[in-house]
Structure 1
Amino acid sequence: MARVVVDIMPKAEILDPQGQAIVGALGRLGFGGVSDVRQGKRFELEVDGSVDDDSLQRIASELLANTVIEDFTVTRVQ
């Protein structure tokens, strides 16, 4: 078994209202110096040896991420 991490973030040109809300909240709570926040998603998958890298890319692009507005990375963690 192996652990695979899929990190998904909004593309740079996409507005991130949740990230903007976090920046505003940080300022109101007295945390200065933070000028931008981008909020994403993280998925952890346990896979067996039969799941190859191409399949993981398809899982991420077809099910986990909306590739029109999100970028993703797939990483096998040992």
Structure 2
Amino acid sequence: MELRYFAWLRERVGTGHEVVETEAATVSALVEELRARSEAHAFALSDLTSVRVAVDQQLVDFDASISEAREVAFFPPMTGG
């Protein structure tokens, strides 16, 4: 599965893209796996109230299934202008 990180999440994780193998069934379970992966991931994903997620380019909640997903993207909330 491809993971993408945008804005300050990319800076905190240290990469904008990585490929992982996961047994996680939901975004929340994936986040827990990632937090255990490294201190950088744990720091970047420590406060999910300031993180949005998309599965295969569709905005979803953290309880969304990722069993068929090809890509999960994490990014800060979008603001209008």
**TM class by smaller structure:** 0.3 to 0.5
Decide which structure has the larger Cα Rg and report it: 1
> Relative CO higher for 1 or 2, CA cutoff 8 Å, sep ≥ 6?
1
More strand by share: 1
Return the TM-score normalized by structure 2.
0.33
Return the TM-score normalized by structure 1.
0.34
